[in-house]
Structure 1
Amino acid sequence: MKSPRCSRKGHGIRKQKSLKQARDEDGNLVYYEDTHRTIDDVWRLPYIMPADKKQKLDFDTQKPETLLERVILSSTKPNALVLDVFGGSGTTAAVAEKLGRRWITTDMGKAACMIMRKRLIDQDAKPFLFQHIGDYQVEQMRSTMGSRFRIGDLAEIVLGLYGTLPLPAEENPNKNMGRLQGSKTLVLADSPNKMTGLATLRRAIEIRDNLMGGWDKVVILGWNFSPTIGHDIEALGQGDSLEVLVIPPDLLDRLKKKGKKLKPDEVRFSSLQYLKLGNIKRKATSDKESLTVALDNYVLLSPDALNLDEKNKSKLEQVVNDDPLALIEYWSVDPDYDGEVFRSVWQDYRGNTENDDDPYHVVTTAQLTGLPKKEGKRRVCVRVVDVFGFEAEATIEVA
């Protein structure tokens, strides 16, 4: 049944009339007939049915796909570029992919990025690039300390919480180095606006060997790490004279709450997480190859570095000891890694029951078949993301 027509200027009743939606002066939904090709004043938004397990991701701000279909179809043409800078659960990217549009989506939350990536993989999206960019710690400190904040200020705070003594100003113009009292240990706080990787390690070793006559050891405190950091540390072969520790992810939140009242004994700087691979088998036929890649172990950074209460820390420690691979949320394999761009050919994630019937674990062995035959060694790269959003990587050459 049609409701009374809403009074609108410039809309008479003509031939080829269409029904439009609007609100009357009391806010009630009404309909009127119109010949103009305009968008309705009111859209009755669809919603995700609770029983729709395929679409429902339990993400607070998730939008229904039918809504994004309407928006994208009404405003773009095939192969257009769609941008969503608040990606959330990834509905915009997922729908754009289905409708033949190119897309870019971003989000500051690691959980959101993981959900988006899994969602796109699950719908067999074309290959896409996943990158970490941004200066989250810097922006957060600016909001806490004001516009006069400088990177060196944060480094100075971090070094103080680690318990270092300052170096002479002429040797430490950036205020990012200190020393441990009673030893010849140099401590370097890396910048929060870049990834701690091989270049940082080499620079730290050079400083250790040359600054102020040299030091026995250098400790690097980092915020963000390249996926290859574990492999890079091992390859440099520095032993105990080089150590890399993680600045607690919740440190800025705690500084915002406590400020200068935060004491060094309240902050734990923990070791890096890393991945160990198991057996890697390569088998060739006349024109194709198969590859078997197994996970052996995953070592998480200390639970003390995570923002958990004591009860949950205890539970996490038990999982770390009994079933460390259960911490892996997602992992993927590039069988021909070029050292620059990671191209995932195989992947599995928690909740995916196509590879096994266990929704709470990933499979620990990947079977890649039908690979193009290749002469010489294969450089195989494996990347994992754990349930906390931390990433690790392992690379191996297979004859």
Structure 2
Amino acid sequence: MNVPLGEEEEIEKDQSTIEMIAYKDMWGNGTDSFIQLMYERFLLMKSLLSEHGCIYVHCDWRVNSFFKLLLDEVFGKDNFRNEIIWSFTGRLMYTEQKFNVKHNTIFFYSNSSLHKINEVTEEITREEYIKMKKQEVHTDPDGREWIWGHSGKGKSHDYKIFIDEVVKNGKCLNAVWRIPIVNTSSMERVDYPTQKPEALLERIIKASSNEGDLVADFFCGSGTTGAVAERLGRRWIMADLGRFAIHTSRKRLIDLQRKLHSENQPYRSFDVYNLGRYERQWWQKERLHGADSEHRRVVLEFYRAEVLPNPVSPLLHGRKGPALVHVDAIDSIFTRAEARAAAEAALTAGARELHCLAWEFEMDLRMACDALQQELGVRIRLFHIPREIMEKNRTTPPPFFEMANLAASAVVNAANGDEPVISPHPGLPPEGEGAVVPPPVGDSSKLPPPVGEVRRGNKAIRIRLDRFLPSLTEVPFKEVEALQERATKTPFDFIDFWAVDFDFHPGQPFNHHWQAYRTRKDRKLPTITDPFVYADSGSHTVCVKVVDVFGVDTSITLEVEG
């Protein structure tokens, strides 16, 4: 798939987009392992279904025949309902080898005989209905057109079918659905490679659920299921292994919230949960026999660092050149407390550089490590452990990238109209060697004044992005060198979404008090928020969340006086 960068629209492809891999086989044995993966997941899905529930399964011709056998085994042949043919038009090209493929298959199974389909009809025109019936059209004295309907044998059972009523109510559905694909000019297109049309999901959700019911999609891709379910008043759960899929779905649902809000329609908030550690725990149990030491050995081997045979501290696990290496546990988040302890251990061992490898990092950790570096004199570098090391039979080391670097500051406008005063962000990385400083966001004295009324003398707070250095963890290897240069020169091009919780409380959900993001049609992105006025004065914690074009989250906190 092509992921756009920055605000560029009419620039050469290699400058404005990145070619990313949407899907890859990480299970080792191609189709065999994929079929096993799906079998296990179908069993889980069946266990989650209500007694009245059902499942719709779509995949292409490569594995459809395998899926049908799996679904027969898991759900039972008696619970097979339909093989739905999703038919669509498009450009036809002559080929000597096969006919043009203009359909996909969807398997429809219920969890029991209790499942009932809601009455769903399909739009039909007057001309389509007349052509389908192949009958003479009659006209009543009042001008209404009708044809004969047959409820039994013999003309005595014939009755009139008024064509205007059929056109108004639609025709009953069969198992062939003619629904256009999401083409390049479609308003709902989000440029995700497997995006399904909303009309397709709307038909499925209306047929097999009612308002308030729960709909789940465990391979959600671009988030069509959640968007349609939300619009139709259903509860929903979506899941995906890909960061970009989750990020695309999040932006799509925020777009829907804004649309519903503008139409004075009800909408709900939603949460995004990171469950990535379960994948790692499975890998440790199945491949590494549950051993933490084996996990650290594998990570160090891919990082091309030597294992320390007799480390002076249990926090030091390897050495790479002059630097000592710490590898965090597979199911934990690397915290500032661990960073301090590891840095002090490295200092005791006589090292001046420490590399910390982790799957996840505590919020605001980069700033804390910069402060530790100034205090202890030990350079601390934070590297993401790449997911690729879990791929079976992988021998080539994937690149390890440093975590993203983010800095922001509070812009304070007093109620009496004083000029803005920049509240410096504590712990900014020192400028100079090793620091990446993007072009200034703008002259603070020229910032627009706050909008809205400022009451009771409280200050209007705005948050400004000052610095961002993206992590290139998800970037294909062939793109890395070119993107590293661009990330240094124009790092804000890599920001796709950012949001601010002006009253953040650790351990509680992040509240999107303000948010901005790029869309397919509008690539511009503001780097300063609208004004926010606190209801009470005093100190408040602000959390700034940035999601880059690869779907990677980076967050920091700062203290402001409201």
Q: Is the TM value for this pair above 0.5?
A: yes
Relative distance call for 1:137 and 1:82 in structure 2 (3 A) is closer
1:376 aligned residue: 538
Q: Secondary structure at the match of 2:330?
A: coil
Relative distance call for 1:110 and 1:267 in structure 2 (3 A) is closer
2:491 aligned residue: 324
CA shift for structure 1 position 167: 3.0
CA shift for structure 1 position 195: 2.6
CA shift for structure 1 position 306: 4.1
1:392 to 554, 557, 562: 554
CA distance in 2, matches of 1:105, 1:44: 25
1:363 aligns to 2:526 (yes or no): yes
CA distance in 2, matches of 1:329, 1:236: 30
What amino acid is the match of 2:518?
A: R
CA distance in 2, matches of 1:147, 1:241: 32
What amino acid is the match of 2:306?
A: T
CA distance in 2, matches of 1:335, 1:142: 39
1:50 to 183, 187, 196: 183
Question: 1:250–1:307: 8 Å Cα contact kept in structure 2?
Answer: no
Trace 1:1-399 onto structure 2 (pairs within 5 A): 1-2=131-132, 42-50=175-183, 52-124=185-257, 126-135=268-277, 138=280, 141=283, 146=287, 148=289, 150-160=291-301, 161-168=303-310, 177-180=316-319, 186-202=324-340, 204-205=342-343, 216=351, 218-234=354-370, 236=372, 238-241=375-378, 243-247=380-384, 249=386, 251-252=388-389, 256=392, 259=395, 262=396, 269-284=400-415, 285-286=454-455, 290-301=460-471, 306-309=475-478, 312-340=479-507, 341-351=509-519, 359-369=522-532, 371-399=533-561
Q: Secondary structure at the match of 1:196?
A: coil
Relative distance call for 1:83 and 1:236 in structure 2 (3 A) is farther
Relative distance call for 1:352 and 1:367 in structure 2 (3 A) is farther
Q: Secondary structure at the match of 2:211?
A: coil
CA distance in 2, matches of 1:239, 1:45: 67
Relative distance call for 1:380 and 1:247 in structure 2 (3 A) is closer
Give the paired residue count: 351
In structure 2, stretches of 5+ residues that fail to align are 1-130, 135-150, 162-171, 258-266, 416-453
Q: Secondary structure at the match of 1:112?
A: helix
CA distance in 2, matches of 1:77, 1:385: 34
Relative distance call for 1:378 and 1:57 in structure 2 (3 A) is same
What amino acid is the match of 1:223?
A: W
CA distance in 2, matches of 1:391, 1:69: 31
Task: Tell which deviates more after alignment, 326-335 or 286-295.
Answer: 286-295
Identity in percent: 27
What amino acid is the match of 1:273?
A: A
1:356 aligned residue: none
Question: 2:198–2:228: 8 Å Cα contact kept in structure 1?
Answer: yes
CA shift for structure 1 position 150: 4.0
CA distance in 2, matches of 1:305, 1:81: 32
CA shift for structure 1 position 300: 2.5
Task: Tell which deviates more after alignment, 64-73 or 230-239.
Answer: 230-239
Question: 1:134–1:193: 8 Å Cα contact kept in structure 2?
Answer: no
> Of the two structures, which has the highest relative contact order with CA contacts closer than 8 Å and spacing of 6 or more?
2
1:7 aligned residue: none
CA shift for structure 1 position 93: 0.9
What amino acid is the match of 1:272?
A: M
Relative distance call for 1:182 and 1:299 in structure 2 (3 A) is closer
CA distance in 2, matches of 1:181, 1:69: 55
Question: 1:195–1:224: 8 Å Cα contact kept in structure 2?
Answer: yes
Question: 2:195–2:221: 8 Å Cα contact kept in structure 1?
Answer: yes
Question: 2:408–2:466: 8 Å Cα contact kept in structure 1?
Answer: yes
CA distance in 2, matches of 1:89, 1:133: 18
What amino acid is the match of 1:158?
A: V
Question: 2:304–2:320: 8 Å Cα contact kept in structure 1?
Answer: no
Relative distance call for 1:156 and 1:323 in structure 2 (3 A) is same
Please report the RMSD computed on the Cα atoms of aligned residues, expressed in angstroms. 3.9
CA shift for structure 1 position 197: 2.7
Q: Secondary structure at the match of 1:366?
A: coil
CA shift for structure 1 position 178: 2.4
CA distance in 1, matches of 2:219, 2:483: 31
What amino acid is the match of 1:390?
A: V
Highest Rg: 1 or 2? 2
What amino acid is the match of 2:519?
A: G
CA shift for structure 1 position 257: 5.5
What amino acid is the match of 2:482?
A: K
CA distance in 1, matches of 2:473, 2:321: 26
2:49 aligned residue: none
What amino acid is the match of 1:336?
A: D
Relative distance call for 1:241 and 1:137 in structure 2 (3 A) is farther
CA distance in 1, matches of 2:545, 2:252: 18
Question: 1:110–1:389: 8 Å Cα contact kept in structure 2?
Answer: yes
Relative distance call for 1:181 and 1:331 in structure 2 (3 A) is closer
Relative distance call for 1:374 and 1:322 in structure 2 (3 A) is same
| TM-score calculated relative to the size of structure 2 | 0.54
CA shift for structure 1 position 147: 7.2
